[in-house]
């Protein structure tokens, strides 16, 4: 059995003549570890065991069992073929032999008899060349990975800006930022589903991603619609509807004003979706009255996605329709006519689409604002500054929540003094899952053992932007009526890096009562006699010492 070497600088010499191996070994043994093989089969075994350490293989051509060309043939299927340079050493100096050798993949050919110093220099040059080649390959791979990461970061940044802007528009019309996420998801799903049976579309994954991102801008023109029209509950008058219809062309004007290359594919998708997502198959849509295949297919897909999402979501002008009602309205043409191929695809895949929409992981990536965060013109902050700040705060909150386990989670809003628990809180303690005037309620509640309440205020007082995480153990009264131990973890979120204002507390509560009881039992077992139940000597000494050292102990003497 051939033992693998431990050195990282190894030369493998393959020759059936021991003297030749000895001469070559003498040339390199001061700088490298040497491995010797007397035939091709032995060389392949050594390569398999030590390939990662071998810098070059010196290969004789004429050998028993397996000659040099046979070794080269076997190596073509090996992972080491491109990584280890091979120098062929042979007494054959014909052109045909040299050509066959180079064709087989050798790096150099040295003819016997050879001059030792020339062999040493040529082999050293080949090793340096391959080392440099490996270095360049590694650097190239690192640069490629770095470019991939940068491209991914740039894509995420672009998506975030698009979602932020789109969410701001949706916010003016009282629609949730989740509408943007669902629009992107439905568009992406329909494009894939449509490509499978209809080869004429042939959307690549890159195009699907690009169109889905562009779909987020479909209603960007609503930013130019007056509030009295955009936010009006109930049906619009004919005049108001004409104003609302201009959001398609206003959105295009907005896109045209951007400093963006208008021949770019992404710009074209965004522009055509923004302008044509209210066109209909029968030509009765707006603003241009296009019909059938005059409407770009990506605008048709977004139009269907927008209608379904609008029907199943809450709007100021309509109630929420059930999934079944929404499908019925779409099929019956109550929302306009759609491409029959697209509509059939939508109906065939609707069950799979619903499963996709129920997946939670993508939803939290979309910016979301609370109702209290709607912008007011009188505020000193600009609309974009306020939106971006609140989006960042929401992102932090959801990121922390996603890291927490599934026990009782809670979220405290410092501005409203409102404490909100997960549903499991009600199951364990009863009452409401929300606590108004939370700080006062905690001070007055009987659910927390009175002796433990100072711990809460102490931990909260110690929270800072540098140390935002706190931990405490409390005894709380459950629905059963018993006080049980709970471990509480808190994470504070601050308005800015300086930590001037804590805006939220997020955390979880874990029931550790069983652990506490078991720990107490083990301590009691370790400190008492198993027969009498009285304290053993060690425990008694500790108790007496603690009592004597206590500041509360009255003056006196102890005799025993």
pLDDT in tens, 115-170: 888 888 999 998 888 888 878 888 888 887 877 776 666 665 555 455 545 555 55
pLDDT of res. 232: 77
- Give the C-alpha separation, 507 to 408, whole Å: 8
Mean pLDDT, each 10-residue run in order, the chain (560 residues): 59 88 87 90 87 88 86 84 87 86 88 83 89 81 77 59 53 54 86 81 84 85 82 82 91 75 73 93 92 93 90 72 88 89 89 77 40 38 48 52 64 87 84 87 92 94 90 93 92 74 88 88 77 73 72 53
Burial class (CB in 10 A: 0-12, 13-18, 19+), 514: exposed
Give me the helices (H) in 173-202, please. Answer: 178-195
Q: Determine phi and psi for 89, rounding to 5 degrees.
A: -115, 120
At residue 297, the 3 state secondary structure works out as helix
Placement of tokens 């040529």 in the chain: 122
Say if CB 189 and CB 349 are below 8 A apart: yes
Listing DSSP states for 203-251 in one string gives --HHHHHHHHHHHTTTTGGGGGS-HHHHT--SPPPHHHHHHHHTHHHHH
Q: Show me where the domains of the chain are located.
A: 10-114, 156-368, 404-560
pTM of the model: 0.41
The reply to whether 404-560 shares the fold of 10-114 is no
Question: Which of 451, 463, 361, 447 is closest to 412 using CA atoms?
Answer: 463
- Does the domain made of 156-368 have the CATH classification 1.10.3210.10? yes
Give tens-digit pLDDT for 269-288.
889 999 999 999 999 999 99
The pLDDT value given to residue 277: 93
CATH class of 404-560: alpha beta
Q: 317 CB contacts (<8 Å, ≥6 apart)?
A: 232, 233, 234, 235, 236
pLDDT digits (tens, 9 = 90+) for 443-494: 999 999 999 999 999 999 999 888 889 999 999 999 988 999 999 999 998 8
Q: What is the largest CA-CA distance in the chain?
A: 112
Assess contact for 236 and 247: CB atoms under 8 A: no
Q: Tell the residue number behind the tokens 């802007």, with chain if given.
A: 165
Q: Which CATH architecture has domain 10-114?
A: 3-Layer(aba) Sandwich (3.40)
Give the C-alpha separation, 147 to 178, whole Å.
31
Query: Taking a C-beta distance cutoff of 8 angstroms, is the pair 58, 89 a contact?
Result: yes
Give yes or no for a contact between 325 and 311, defined as CB atoms under 8 angstroms apart.
yes
Cis peptide bond prior to 287, omega within 30° of 0: yes
Strands 502-511 and 408-413: antiparallel
């Amino acid at each position: 059995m051939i033992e693998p070497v431990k050195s990282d600088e190894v030369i493998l010499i393959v020759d059936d003549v021991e003297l030749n191996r000895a001469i070559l070994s003498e040339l390199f043994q001061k700088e490298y570890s040497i491995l010797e093989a007397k035939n091709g089969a032995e060389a392949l075994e050594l390569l398999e065991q030590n390939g990662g350490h071998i810098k070059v293989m010196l290969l004789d051509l004429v050998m028993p069992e397996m000659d040099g060309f046979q070794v080269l043939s076997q190596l073509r299927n090996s992972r080491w073929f491109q990584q280890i340079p091979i120098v062929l050493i042979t007494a054959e100096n014909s052109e045909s032999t040299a050509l066959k050798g180079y064709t087989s993949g050798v790096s150099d050919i040295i003819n016997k008899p050879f001059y030792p110093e020339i062999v040493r220099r040529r082999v050293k040059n080949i090793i340096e060349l391959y080392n440099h080649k490996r270095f360049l390959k590694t650097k190239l791979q690192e640069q490629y990975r770095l470019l991939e990461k940068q491209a991914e970061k740039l894509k995420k940044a672009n998506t975030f800006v698009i979602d932020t802007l789109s969410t701001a528009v949706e916010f003016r019309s009282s629609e949730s930022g989740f509408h943007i996420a669902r629009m992107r998801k439905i568009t992406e799903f329909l494009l894939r589903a449509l490509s499978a049976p209809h080869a004429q579309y042939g959307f690549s994954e890159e195009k699907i991603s690009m169109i889905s991102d562009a779909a987020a801008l479909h209603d960007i023109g609503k930013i130019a619609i007056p509030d009295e029209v955009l936010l009006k509950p109930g049906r619009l008058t004919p005049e108001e509807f004409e104003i609302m219809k201009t959001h398609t062309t206003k959105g295009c004007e907005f896109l045209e004003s951007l400093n963006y290359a208008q021949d770019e594919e992404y710009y074209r998708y965004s522009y055509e979706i923004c302008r044509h997502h209210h066109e209909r198959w029968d030509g009765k849509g707006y603003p241009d009255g296009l019909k059938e295949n005059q409407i770009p297919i990506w605008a048709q897909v977004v139009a269907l996605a927008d209608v379904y999402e609008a029907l199943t979501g809450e709007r100021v002008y309509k109630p929420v329709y059930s999934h079944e009602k929404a499908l019925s309205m779409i099929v019956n043409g109550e929302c306009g006519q759609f491409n029959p191929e697209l509509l059939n695809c939508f109906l065939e895949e609707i069950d799979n689409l619903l499963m996709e929409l129920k997946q939670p992981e993508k939803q939290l990536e979309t910016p979301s604002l609370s109702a209290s965060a709607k912008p007011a013109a009188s505020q000193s902050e600009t609309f974009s500054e306020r939106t971006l700040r609140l989006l960042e705060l929401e992102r932090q909150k959801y990121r922390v929540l996603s890291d927490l386990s599934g026990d009782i989670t809670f979220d405290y809003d410092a501005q409203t003094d409102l404490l909100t628990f997960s549903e499991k809180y009600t199951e364990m303690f009863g009452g409401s899952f929300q606590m108004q005037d939370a700080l006062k309620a905690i001070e007055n509640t009987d659910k927390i053992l009175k002796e433990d309440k100072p711990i809460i205020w102490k931990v909260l007082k110690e929270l800072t932007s540098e140390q935002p995480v706190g931990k405490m153990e409390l005894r709380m009264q459950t629905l059963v009526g018993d006080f049980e131990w709970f471990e509480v973890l808190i994470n504070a979120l601050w308005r800015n890096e300086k930590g001037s204002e804590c805006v939220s507390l997020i955390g979880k509560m874990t029931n550790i009562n069983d652990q506490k009881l078991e720990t107490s039992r083990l301590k009691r077992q370790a400190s008492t006699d198993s027969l009498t139940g009285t304290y053993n000597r060690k425990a008694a000494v500790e108790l007496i010492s603690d009592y004597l050292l206590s500041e509360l102990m009255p003056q006196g003497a102890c005799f025993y």
